[in-house]
């Protein structure tokens, strides 16, 4: 059995009829998604992707990953937003918490670092310190090929590789994931003879983790990409059912919309496993870019418990009542440990001696849910049996589909992101990009005012 969705702790906030009344709208959203009649219809390639992905490219990904693993100590993954968050999320959940720090003998893959997701010279130069004396390969991921952050990083690390290995040898260490025929990166890759992988035209960045965008870094990490894809394929089958009562993915979409209509404007994605930190980042991009538009949308936020119970916990329990929580949980932790006894019992915790930490974590979760629900915060639970590639694949698909359906319920186009252009235009103008002269003058005047 795959994902369990439990909304019993939202029952006192939203009555069954409130979300069940959304059934006809869910039916419409389902039709729009599957018949490709809704807004953003040209970006629905992800819906059937787990079934129809390009098997030949998939094999090339596997081979490239084997090559990288054999000739590199380090893989640098250069990309931002949808071009990195999915891979980072999956690597963190399926990999070792300290995978880059493990001794080589205990590691099944190269160290993997993500770069090009900020414009920080500090971050980049610190990364360069780590690379000293190591063999490296680069996977640059950018659909447009011109995104500022990864483009700046690629300039730097391409130079670094060429200095280290010479231009010809460096070419064998550069892997490009980009549009199949257009864009600056594709042109460069063709000219230089870099190996390329495709970001399909009909799949937007935030829906692209199961394409080469996510799969090459995931394959390099040694995670089981067959199981990941199988989990997504099975979820696709499972969440195809139009009936709201039979489909937990649609129930999640419906309930969060019902809560939103009652003033619950912020959804906190919560986990009790630090390995899920980047899964929450991926989820925030997915829902934030898909729903936050036209003056509407649930604000997607995240918290990591129990750490954040010692900080945000106060607000969640007692602050403005515009929140609901969605906990992503794993029934069986991959590893468990027992709490140690202490002869002096200085902290008074000897009553926990011998108890599994997984059990303590579970009680922290149960206690938190009870407290937060009593404090006016509805709670949803999405639970996978184990943090395996198969279940993570299913979870990714669950959220992708819920997001598409939820966006249609909200009445937005869940597959565009016009809002991300505004800052870029201003940044280019302020940096003096040719063609932005008028805007530059106007913005500089505003900065002076």
Give the distance from CA 61 to its chain's centroid. Answer: 20
Question: 164-181 burial, b for 16+ CB within 10 Å, e for fewer?
Answer: eeeeeebbebbbbbbbee
Nearer to ligand PA5 (CB atom), residue 9 or residue 208? 208
Question: 64-101 burial, b for 16+ CB within 10 Å, e for fewer?
Answer: bbebbbeebebbbbbbbbbbbbbbbbbbbbbbbeebee
Which part of the chain contacts ligand PA5 (CB under 6 A), choosing from 34-42, 78-86, 160-168, 366-374?
Answer: 78-86
| Residue 424 annotated to the active site | yes
Does position 143 interact with ligand PA5 (CB under 6 A)? The reply is: yes
Q: 269 and 300 in contact (C-beta within 8 Å)?
A: yes
| Among positions 82, 110, 358, 394, the unique one binding ligand PA5 when judged by CB under 6 A | 82
Does position 142 interact with ligand PA5 (CB under 6 A)? The reply is: yes
Shortest separation between residue 369's beta carbon and ligand PA5, angstroms: 32
Shortest separation between residue 21's beta carbon and ligand PA5, angstroms: 32
Does position 300 interact with ligand PA5 (CB under 6 A)? The reply is: no
Does position 109 interact with ligand PA5 (CB under 6 A)? The reply is: no
Cα 57 to Cα 18: distance, rounded to the nearest angstrom: 46
Does position 78 interact with ligand PA5 (CB under 6 A)? The reply is: no
Q: 359 and 367 in contact (C-beta within 8 Å)?
A: no
Q: What residues numbered 182-241 form the site for ligand PA5, per CB under 6 A?
A: 204-206
Cα 291 to Cα 192: distance, rounded to the nearest angstrom: 39
Nearer to ligand PA5 (CB atom), residue 116 or residue 248? 116
| Among positions 238, 326, 406, 417, the unique one binding ligand PA5 when judged by CB under 6 A | 417
Q: Print the binding letters for residues 337-356 with ligand PA5: x by CB under 6 A, - otherwise.
A: --------------------
| Residue 289 annotated to the active site | yes
From 289, 291, 304, 400, the catalytic residue: 289
Q: Print the binding letters for residues 279-298 with ligand PA5: x by CB under 6 A, - otherwise.
A: ----------x---------
From 134, 246, 424, 444, the catalytic residue: 424
Binding region for ligand PA5 (CB under 6 A): 80-83, 142-144, 147, 150, 204-206, 289, 417
The residues annotated with a catalytic role in the active site are: 289, 424
């Amino acid at each position: 059995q795959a994902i369990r969705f439990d909304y019993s702790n939202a029952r006192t906030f939203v009555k069954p009829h409130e979300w069940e009344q959304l059934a006809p709208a869910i039916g419409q959203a389902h039709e729009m998604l599957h018949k490709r009649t809704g807004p953003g219809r040209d970006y629905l390639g992800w819906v059937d992707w787990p079934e129809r992905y390009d098997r030949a490219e998939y094999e090339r990904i596997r081979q490239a990953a084997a090559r990288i693993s054999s000739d590199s100590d380090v893989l640098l993954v250069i990309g931002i937003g949808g071009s990195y968050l999915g891979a980072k999320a999956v690597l963190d959940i399926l990999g070792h918490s300290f995978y880059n720090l493990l001794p080589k003998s205990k590691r099944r893959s190269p160290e993997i670092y993500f770069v090009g997701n900020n414009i920080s010279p500090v971050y980049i130069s610190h990364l360069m310190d780590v690379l000293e004396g190591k063999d490296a390969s680069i996977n640059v991921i950018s659909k447009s090929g011109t995104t500022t952050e990864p483009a700046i990083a690629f300039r730097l690390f391409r130079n670094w590789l060429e200095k280290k290995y010479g231009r010809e040898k460096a070419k064998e260490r550069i892997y490009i994931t980009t549009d199949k025929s257009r864009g600056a990166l594709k042109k460069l890759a063709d000219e230089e003879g870099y190996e390329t992988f495709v970001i399909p035209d009909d799949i937007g960045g935030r829906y692209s983790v199961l394409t080469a965008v996510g799969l090459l870094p995931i394959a390099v990490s040694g995670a089981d990409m067959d199981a990941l894809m199988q989990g997504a394929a099975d979820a696709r089958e499972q969440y195809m059912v139009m009936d709201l009562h039979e489909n937990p993915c649609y129930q999640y979409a419906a309930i969060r919309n019902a809560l939103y209509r009652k003033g619950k404007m912020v959804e906190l994605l919560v986990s009790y496993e630090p390995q899920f930190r980047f899964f929450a980042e991926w989820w925030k991009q997915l829902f934030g870019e898909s729903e936050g538009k036209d003056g509407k949308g649930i604000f997607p936020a995240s918290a990591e418990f129990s750490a954040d119970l010692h900080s945000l916990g106060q607000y969640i329990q007692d602050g403005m009542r515009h929140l609901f929580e969605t906990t992503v949980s794993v029934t069986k932790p991959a590893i468990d440990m027992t709490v140690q006894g202490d002869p002096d019992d200085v902290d008074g915790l000897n009553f926990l001696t011998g108890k599994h930490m997984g059990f303590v974590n579970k009680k922290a979760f149960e206690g938190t849910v009870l407290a937060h629900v009593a404090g006016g915060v509805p709670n949803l639970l999405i639970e996978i049996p184990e943090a395996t590639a198969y279940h993570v694949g299913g979870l990714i698909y669950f959220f992708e589909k819920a997001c598409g359906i939820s966006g249609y319920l909200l009445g937005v186009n869940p597959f565009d992101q016009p809002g991300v252009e505004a800052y870029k235009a201003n940044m280019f103008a302020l940096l003096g990009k040719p063609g932005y002269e008028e805007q530059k003058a106007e913005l500089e005047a505003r900065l002076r005012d």
